[in-house]
Chains A and B, each alone.
Chain A
Amino acid sequence: MKKNLQKIGFLLLALCLVICAVSCNGKQEAPAATTAAEGESAPQSPLIGDPSEEYYMVTFFSGIDFWKQCFEGFEDAAELYGVTPRYDGAPEYELNNAITVLEQIIAKNPRGIAVTCMNPDAYVEPINKAIEKGITVVTFDSDAPLSKRYANLSTGNYYGGVLAARQMAKFLGEKGEVGVVGVPGQLNLEQRTNGFLDTIKNEYPNMKVVQVVNGNAEEMKGAEVTASLIQAWPNMKGVYACNANMGIGVGSAVEEAKKTDDIYVVSFDVDPGLIAGIDDGTIDACIAQGAWNMGFWSMQCLYLVEHDLVSPVQGWREKGVNPLPPYFDTGVSVVTKENVDAFRR
Chain B
Amino acid sequence: MNTVKKSGFSLNLIKQTLTGFREGTVIIIIIAVGAILSFLTPHFLTTDNLRTTAIGLSADGIVAIGMTIALVSGGFDLSVGSILGLTSVSTASMFSLGINIWPAMLLGLLVALVVGLINGLLIGKIGINPFITTLATMSIARGAAYVITRGSPISIKDCPDCFRFLGRGDFIGLPFIVMVFVIFAIFGDVMMRRSAPIRKVFYTGSNEKAAILSGINTTRVKIGVFLLTALLAGIAGILSVARFGVATPTQGTSTEMRVISAAVIGGASLSGGEGSILGTVLGVILLNVINNALVLLNISVYWQSLISGVILITAVTIDHVTHQRKLNKVITAEEAE
Contacts and interface: CB of A to CB of B under 8 A. Distances in A.
B129 interface: no
B209 interface: no
Contacts of B43: 107-109
Interface string A303-326: 000000000000000000000000
Interface string B153-197: 101010000000000100000000000000000000000000000
A95 interface: yes
Interface in A70-95: 86-89, 91-95
A89 B295 CA distance: 8
Given A23-B300, A184-B151, A104 B314 contact: no
A106 interface: yes
Given A9-B29, A24-B297, A88-B301, A183 B244 contact: no
Contact of A104 (B52, B150, B245): B52
Interface in B22-53: 22, 25-26, 28-29, 32-33, 36, 43, 46, 48-49, 51-53
B107 interface: no
B301 A87 contact: yes
Interface in A1-29: 1-2, 4-6, 8-13, 15-17, 19-20, 23-24, 26-28
Interface stretch (A119-127, A245-253, A268-276, A333-341): A119-127
A128 interface: no
Contacts of B253: 92-94
A148 B329 CA distance: 63
A94 B29 contact: no
Given A8-B314, A107-B49, A16 B33 contact: yes
A185 interface: yes
B59 interface: yes
Contacts of A11: 314
B318 A2 contact: no
A100 interface: yes
Nearest to B46: A107
Interface residues of B, number: 63
Given A96-B251, A103-B52, A121-B245, A216 B303 contact: no
B20 interface: yes
B311 A92 contact: no
Contacts of A10: 29
Contact of B322 (A1, A16, A96, A183): A1
A165 interface: no
Nearest to A9: B25
A28 B304 contact: no
B214 interface: no
B292 interface: yes
B310 A125 contact: no
Contacts of B19: 2, 5-6
A77 B67 CA distance: 47
B290 interface: yes
Interface in A165-190: 183-186
A100 B25 contact: no
Contact of B254 (A1, A94, A121, A214): A94
Nearest to B56: A100
B178 to A, nearest CB: 13
A101 interface: yes
Interface residues of A, number: 55
Most chain A C-beta atoms within 10 Å of own C-beta, residue among B59, B298, B299? B298
Contacts of A23: 299-300, 303
A227 interface: no
B265 to A, nearest CB: 9
A15 B310 CA distance: 9
Given A5-B25, A88-B298, A107-B43, A95 B151 contact: no
B6 interface: no
Nearest to B150: A185
Contact of A119 (B20, B244, B315, B329): B244
B332 interface: no
Given A16-B311, A186-B152, A103 B248 contact: no
B136 interface: no
Interface in A103-136: 103-109, 118-119, 121-122, 125
A105 B236 CA distance: 24
B250 interface: yes
A199 interface: no
Nearest to A17: B36
B302 interface: yes
B303 A19 contact: yes
B296 interface: yes
A63 interface: yes
A194 interface: no
B5 interface: no
Interface in B290-337: 290, 292-293, 295-305, 307, 310-311, 314-315, 317-318, 321-322, 325, 329
A125 B52 CA distance: 13
Given A4-B325, A95-B250, 8 more contacts: A5-B22, A8-B321, A9-B28, A17-B36, A24-B297, A103-B52, A108-B43, A119-B248
8 cross-chain pairs, A with B, having the tightest CB-CB distances, nearest first: A185-B152, A100-B56, A107-B48, A122-B244, A107-B49, A103-B52, A62-B301, A108-B43
11 contacts: A1-B325, A17-B36, A26-B300, A27-B300, A88-B301, A94-B253, A95-B246, A103-B52, A104-B53, A108-B43, A119-B248
Interface of A: 1-2, 4-6, 8-13, 15-17, 19-20, 23-24, 26-28, 62-63, 86-89, 91-97, 99-101, 103-109, 118-119, 121-122, 125, 183-186, 214, 216
